[in-house]
Amino acid sequence: MYWEAVNECMSREEIEQIQLERLQANLLRVYMNVPFYRKKFDELKIDPDSFCSLEDLKKLPFTTKEDLRDSYPYGFFAVPLREIVRLQTSSGTTGMPTVVGYTRNDIRIWSNLVARILTAGGVSQSDIVQIAFDYGLFTGALGLHYGAERIGASVIPISSGNPQRQVKIMRDFKTTALVCTPSFALMMADAIRSMDINVNSLSLKYGLFGAEQWSEAMRQELQDRLKIIATDNYGLSEVIGPGVAGECLERKGLHINEDHFLVEVINPETLETVPDGTTGELVITTLTREAMPVIRFRTRDLTSLISEPCPCGRTFKRISRIIGRTDDMIKIKGINVFPSQIESILFEIEGTEPHYQIYIERRGSEDELKVLVEVSEAIFFDQIKKQKELVEKIKKRLYTELGISVDVKLVEKNTLSRSEGKAKRVIDNRKI
């Protein structure tokens, strides 16, 4: 099932032709209307009129989150405020939020792009979609809401919070598709268990999760416990919000809406583009945004491009699951570790619960990593010997797979803080 088959199944030549035409128009637009780009282009002697090949993309300047922040709130807008119909912000987890604006046409396109992703994830007009993202300045809720309404699905705008209430509504309203962060979906799975509800009595079929990093093991856990097909979808406010890329039911990478976003993967140190299949930082250029076009935006998200054809028939390239961000990579004794690697290992070990937190501590001149992981009541109250065995097992697996020794502490169920939005997995005590 496609939402816009003609666009989603174009040939590579057609895609590249559209990208080039749209990019040319976009470069003129930013040169004329955004002082930041006019200055940059002038400095680099880039004439937006003489841009004639996608290969020339490499000559264009990057845009960083700091650049957007420096022109807070409206400095990157390419249209007068009277043409803006909506203002949202990035979630601001790494500092001051970025303000993003949308024209009426941007909202129309955004809804369509999200409709594509929802359709790819199994949602159709006959579904009942529970949107458990926080409604407000965060782009997640309204973005998915408009996309689901565009499809004609029945939308429940419940917002985030209160997992028990979510489950009650899910049961009573016969929700078929759940939309939220994977960590909040896990809280709902816990609530279903604690409320003694048989998951088979619910009508859930699909889970469309995104907005934070999660692992393949977490997908398995959610699919098993909620009896759903869980797909991953990706986006970021600076370029639109959700709707940039999403998995189809094959679940083998996220199709990028390439007719609206031009993506590159670069080596974050050399800034050179890397070949498809190699992990690096995702860089996105918007092709159709009117209110706030961005050129070569450095997302800080680490992924790789997949160009092999997908059995679903969509021809857009895919990105692999985001493995981390350049700014949440933990460097311990010279080794790079991502929280998602730790998550995958913990999820595979029997006896642990899928709730954990990672602490970075400084001891003398050395940084150390400590992982707190919840365990089932049976284990927590079991003999010390058994607990020790489990701790050793986890330490050994972490050492084998990460190459560093990690301190492990088992904690009782429900002791680690839960998140109803984006989960905070890493606590860096070195900064305090």
Smallest distance, Å, CB 269 to ligand DLL?
Answer: 19
Report CA 286 to chain centroid distance, whole Å.
Answer: 17
CB 246 within 8 A of CB 231: yes
Report CA 31 to chain centroid distance, whole Å.
Answer: 30
Beta bridge partners of residue 430, listed in sequence order: none
CB 97 within 8 A of CB 90: yes
Q: Which residue's CB is nearer to ligand DLL, number 30 or number 142?
A: 142
Smallest distance, Å, CB 248 to ligand DLL?
Answer: 14
Smallest distance, Å, CB 336 to ligand DLL?
Answer: 17
Residue 63 to residue 325: CA distance in whole angstroms: 17
Residue nearest to ligand DLL (CB): 210
Smallest distance, Å, CB 106 to ligand DLL?
Answer: 15
161: phi then psi, degrees, rounded to nearest 5: 95, 160
Smallest distance, Å, CB 403 to ligand DLL?
Answer: 24
Please state, in angstroms and as integers, the Cα–Cα distance from residue 17 to each residue in 14, 21, 84, following that order: 5, 6, 29
- Cβ neighbours of residue 81 closer than 8 Å, sequence gap 6 or more: 74, 101
Please state, in angstroms and as integers, the Cα–Cα distance from residue 138 to each residue in 99, 133, 211, 218, 422, following that order: 10, 8, 10, 24, 11
Neighbours of 108 (CB within 10 A): 13
What is the binding site for ligand DLL (CB under 6 A)?
A: 90-91, 133, 138-140, 210-213, 232-237, 241-242, 299, 301, 322, 325
Please state, in angstroms and as integers, the Cα–Cα distance from residue 18 to each residue in 59, 108, 146, following that order: 20, 19, 25
CB 376 within 8 A of CB 351: yes
Smallest distance, Å, CB 432 to ligand DLL?
Answer: 24
Residue type, position 336, single letter: N
Residue ranges in 9-100 assigned as alpha helix (H): 12-33, 35-43, 65-70
CB 358 within 8 A of CB 345: no
Q: Which residue's CB is nearer to ligand DLL, number 163 or number 324?
A: 324
Residue corresponding to tokens 């416990």: 225
Smallest distance, Å, CB 231 to ligand DLL?
Answer: 10
Smallest distance, Å, CB 237 to ligand DLL?
Answer: 3
Q: Which residue's CB is nearer to ligand DLL, number 41 or number 347?
A: 347
